[in-house]
């Protein structure tokens, strides 16, 4: 078995060249992201280069993996006869069932802002709630590990704390012990994107507020696991409403009734087992 993972493109090219040279193996082409449908690539790059190789990979690989059904469906449209399997990203630590509440209502975001993934609308909604007196004036936002310059409204400049990048284990510790709500952000347009962030968030037992398309995969996962709420990133009033819902949970010391059985399926071990089971079935002599 040879497993090549994209991106970059070179691992797939290496596997294709080995296959073309006559070596016999079961080739798994692992697509963590889209290829020619990726929104950050130019049209010229997509059509003149990457789409050509994409068709070769899809045609020649014995199995194509990706993280979500929408991304796999796009690959199927390009080459319907290939074998496809959804294997998501996951988390690696033990689930945290104990919940501690901060003395001040605290929202947290762990990771980078980039391109269209920005905190502007979240900050706007939070700022208005502070001005309207609907959440306490000493409420806190913690941003951990972002290097991009962000614009913070004047009236919440003292509410927002930026913390430098930390090791992954420390980020998990902060998620489980130093915040009350964990925030994710992704604008409308690109379907099938989970972000590895959601899997780390799931096992914290803290409410997740996803500024995502409610009808996309993150919305589905949060509804299935009962781990949080989804609202469009562009919907300021909707974001305000969801922040108030999270504030009420903190104020009343409530814990969401997570479906831990479904959450445990998101452990990286269990996601990897999906692939191992597939190989056991299709390669019985291995």
Would you list the DSSP string of 225-261? HT-EEEE-TT-HHHHHHHHHHHHHHHHTT------HH
Helix residue spans in the chain (DSSP H): 10-20, 43-45, 51-60, 69-78, 120-131, 168-177, 196-202, 217-225, 236-251, 260-264, 268-282
pLDDT at 4: 96
pLDDT digits (tens, 9 = 90+) for 137-149: 999 999 999 999 9
Positive or negative torsion for Cα 184, 239, 263, 186: negative
pLDDT digits (tens, 9 = 90+) for 146-159: 999 999 999 999 99
pLDDT at 285: 66
pLDDT at 47: 65
pLDDT at 116: 85
Low-confidence residues of the chain: pLDDT under 50? none
Domain ranges of the chain: 2-90+267-282, 106-264
Question: What class, spelled out in words, does domain 106-264 have in CATH?
Answer: alpha beta
As a whole number of angstroms, the distance between CA 170 and CA 168 comes to 5
């Amino acid at each position: 078995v040879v497993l090549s993972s994209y991106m970059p493109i070179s691992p797939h090219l290496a596997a294709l060249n080995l296959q073309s040279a006559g070596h016999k193996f079961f080739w798994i082409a692992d697509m963590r992201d889209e290829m020619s449908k990726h929104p950050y690539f130019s049209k010229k790059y997509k059509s003149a280069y990457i789409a050509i190789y994409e068709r070769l990979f899809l045609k020649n690989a014995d199995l194509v993996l990706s993280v979500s059904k929408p991304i796999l469906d796009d690959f199927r449209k390009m080459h319907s006869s290939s074998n496809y399997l959804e294997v998501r990203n996951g988390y690696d630590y033990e689930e945290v069932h104990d919940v501690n509440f901060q003395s001040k209502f605290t929202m947290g975001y762990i990771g980078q802002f980039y391109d269209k993934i920005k905190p502007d609308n979240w900050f706007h909604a939070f700022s208005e709630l502070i001005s309207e007196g609907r959440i306490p004036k000493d409420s806190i936002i913690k941003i951990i590990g972002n290097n991009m310059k962000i614009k913070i409204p004047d009236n919440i400049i003292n509410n927002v704390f930026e913390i430098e990048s930390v090791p992954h284990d420390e980020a998990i510790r902060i998620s489980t012990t130093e915040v009350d709500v964990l925030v994710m952000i992704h604008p409308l347009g690109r379907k099938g994107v989970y972000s590895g962030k959601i899997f780390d968030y799931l096992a914290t037992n803290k409410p997740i507020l996803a500024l995502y398309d409610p009808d996309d995969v993150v919305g589905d996962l949060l509804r299935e696991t009962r781990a949080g709420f989804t609202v469009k990133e562009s919907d300021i009033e909707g974001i305000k409403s969801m922040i108030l819902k999270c504030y009420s949970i903190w104020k009343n010391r409530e814990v969401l009734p997570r479906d831990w059985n479904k959450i445990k399926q998101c452990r990286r071990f269990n996601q990897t087992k999906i692939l191992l089971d597939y190989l056991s079935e299709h390669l019985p002599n291995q």
